[in-house]
Amino acid sequence: MSFGSPEMMLFEMASSEVNAYFHGQHCEPAICNMHTLAKSPGPQAAAEKASTLTLGAGLGGREFFGAGALSLDEVFSPVQLLVDLELKDQAQRLVQGLDTECDVEACVEDVRAGISRGFTGLNRTLDGCSRLHWRPRLFNRQLLATWQAQGGPRLEDEARQLARELVAKHDWELGPKVRAELDRIYRRAEQELGAA
């Protein structure tokens, strides 16, 4: 098992082709498994999950699983979940592509105005920037000096703080019948498997 590796992605694509061959269906290479064998959030988990999401989304995948999972699925990390959601947003923005439709007359007028005033001062430039440019929640796109002036915040620390804030806002509770049934199952598992 080499979850997160290039070979795993290649075999998932090959598996789609083999299934299509034997079942007489059109092959759509499917890569939707975001699992990694990384044990904690960090460079390995980010690289492997980003590779899966980017390649999978580029091939047409729109449903992925394994967000927040580490060490295959032995560990769940709220920090990794938030990073995975950021990776998902980045892959989603990538597959959306560029909006190349424009009003030619308005573009010509913008060029005239931009030459004399500068393009960054135009209202259409500012309006278009927010539509064109994805603003990440966690990934820091500031220049080094700005980041340093803010104390050099680490993405993992910011994700951990955001996870705490989201949990603190949480007010949903499991229904009493479902909770009682889960408690019963848990007590039975403790009895049969031994308390850890």
Residues 6+ apart with CB under 8 A from 179: none
pTM, whole model, 2 decimals?
Answer: 0.76
Tokens 């573009």: give the residue.
Answer: 107
**Cβ–Cβ under 8 Å, residues 133 and 90:** no
**Residue 72 confidence (pLDDT) above 70:** yes
Checking if the pLDDT of 32 tops 70, the result is yes
What CA–CA distance (Å, rounded) separates 174 from 172? 7
- The answer, yes or no, to whether residue 196 has pLDDT greater than 60, is no
Q: How much is the average pLDDT of 128-136?
A: 81
What pLDDT is attached to residue 39?
96
Q: Round to whole Å and give the CA distance between 11 and 22.
A: 16
Q: Closest by alpha carbon to 77, among 112, 49, 114? A: 49
CB 56 within 8 A of CB 31: yes
> How much is the pLDDT for 52?
92
Q: Give 29's pLDDT tier (boundaries 50, 70, 90).
A: low
Average pLDDT over residues 82-92: 96
Mean pLDDT of 31-46: 93
CA-CA distance, 34 to 78, in Å (whole number)? 15
- Strand-strand pairing, 69-70 and 75-76: antiparallel
* 172 pLDDT more than 70: yes
41 vs 36: CA distance, rounded Å: 10
In the chain, where the domains are located? 1-97, 99-139, 154-196
Provide DSSP, the chain: --TTSHHHHHHHHHHHHHHHHHHT--------B-----SSSSHHHHHHHHHHHHHHHHTT----B-TTEETTTTEE-HHHHHHHHHHHHHHHHHHH-------HHHHHHHHHHHHHH-GGG-HHHHHHHHHHS---SSS--S-HHHHHHTT---HHHHHHHHHHHHHHH------HHHHHHHHHHHHHHHHHH---
Residue 195 pLDDT: 59
- Mean pLDDT calculated for residue range 105-123: 73
User: Are the CB atoms for 3 and 37 separated by under 8 Å?
Assistant: yes
